[in-house]
Amino acid sequence: MSRKICLCIGHGSNAKGVYDPGAVSKDKKYHEHKLARKIAKYAADYLGCDLVNYGSDKCLTKRIKAVNAGNYGFAADIHLNAGGGTGTEVYYYHGSPTGKKAAAEISKSVSSDLGVRNRGPKVRLNAYGKDYFGFIRLTDPCAVLIECVFIDCENDLEKVRTEAGCKKCGVAIGKALEKVFGDMTEYTVLTETQIKSKASDESKVKGTLLKGDKIVITVTSSDGKWGRLKDGRGWVKLGRHLSGKAEK
């Protein structure tokens, strides 16, 4: 991936350390933070990128601090919307072509994969002409805020109510960012190596690459040790068993 990316999970804790659910469904059974947490995890697994606030212990100020300390090139804060609408929308830093492109791709991908309205990329400014959302305004890297669906709309909630729905939404976000920031680097396999389900030695083996196989890596993990195969089979460890950049 051409930019080091991190994904953040909205809400989970307020400034006093008290649990903050964010928006809730009409029946009070579903919390924005808990659904966003699942969605973000699937997106991070897809991209092999860093995930902030998975422990539900970081208020907005701490999420911003973590992003600014991480030397990232792009960051996204994942939320669910509320207020009587429907569909997905993504806010980006005003005047940022990269932010606008990423926001548009994410909104389009989530809309298409979940079958909800595409509300598109958006900018929201405050009374001073600055970006309204602190996550966008105060983070150092290019940043977006993703409103996946409306948690108070039954048709929208139905799309992410289940684990499968959260996974579909997370992967849609991952695919969009892969399209915007992916490297698409081609390698030749020099020695037999395993394909893993995640960017981890402990993850499940999904297959094997043989000597001479040609592969394309679309994104690399945040630690630079793993690459995701374009064909979607999984992750391979980068190193001298692959040609190209891996030989360095």
Residue 13 sits in a domain whose CATH number is 3.40.630.40
Show which of 181, 209, 232 is a domain's final residue.
181
Question: Do 146 and 77 touch, CB atoms closer than 8 A?
Answer: yes
Same domain, 168 and 112: yes
Same domain, 201 and 175: no
Please report, for the chain, how many H helices and E strands are present, in that order.
6, 12
Question: Do 147 and 203 touch, CB atoms closer than 8 A?
Answer: no
Q: Which residues pair with 236 in a beta bridge?
A: 227
Same domain, 191 and 168: no
Same domain, 56 and 172: yes
Any idea which residue has 């020695």 for tokens?
Answer: 191
The separation between CA 239 and the C-alpha centre of its own chain, rounded to angstroms, equals: 26
Same domain, 89 and 42: yes
Q: What is the pTM of this model?
A: 0.91
Per-residue pLDDT of the chain (248 residues; tens, 9 = 90+): 668 999 999 999 999 999 999 999 999 999 999 999 999 999 999 999 999 999 999 999 999 999 999 999 999 999 999 999 999 999 999 999 999 999 999 999 999 999 999 999 999 999 999 999 999 999 999 999 999 999 999 999 999 999 999 999 999 999 999 999 998 889 999 999 999 999 999 999 999 999 999 999 998 998 889 999 999 899 999 998 898 654 43
Same domain, 137 and 232: no
Which residues, in sequence order, are CB contacts of 224 under 8 Å at separation 6+? Answer: 238
The pLDDT assigned to 112 comes to 98
Give the length of the chain.
248
Show which of 181, 202, 230 is a domain's final residue.
181
The whole domain housing 127 covers: 5-181
Which residues, in sequence order, are CB contacts of 182 under 8 Å at separation 6+? Answer: 1, 2, 218, 219
Same domain, 106 and 208: no
Number of separate domains in the chain: 2
Same domain, 131 and 192: no
Instruction: Give the 3-state DSSP-derived string for 123-163, with helices as H, strands as E and coil as C.
Output: CCECCCCCECCHHHHHCCCEEEEEEEEECCCHHHHHHHCCH
CATH number of the domain residue 237 falls in: 2.30.30.40
Question: What are the tokens at 144?
Answer: 């977006």
CB atoms within 10 A of CB 238: 22
Question: Do 109 and 175 touch, CB atoms closer than 8 A?
Answer: yes
Identify the CA nearest to 112 among candidates 41, 172, 39.
Answer: 172
Same domain, 190 and 104: no
Same domain, 29 and 103: yes
Show which of 181, 200, 217 is a domain's final residue.
181
Q: Which residues pair with 235 in a beta bridge?
A: 196, 228
Which residues, in sequence order, are CB contacts of 49 under 8 Å at separation 6+? Answer: 1, 4, 5, 6, 7, 219, 221, 222
Same domain, 226 and 121: no
Same domain, 109 and 207: no
d(C-alpha 102, C-alpha 96), whole Å: 10
Buried b or exposed e, range 56-65, using 16+ CB within 10 angstroms: eebbbeebbe
Question: Do 206 and 197 touch, CB atoms closer than 8 A?
Answer: yes
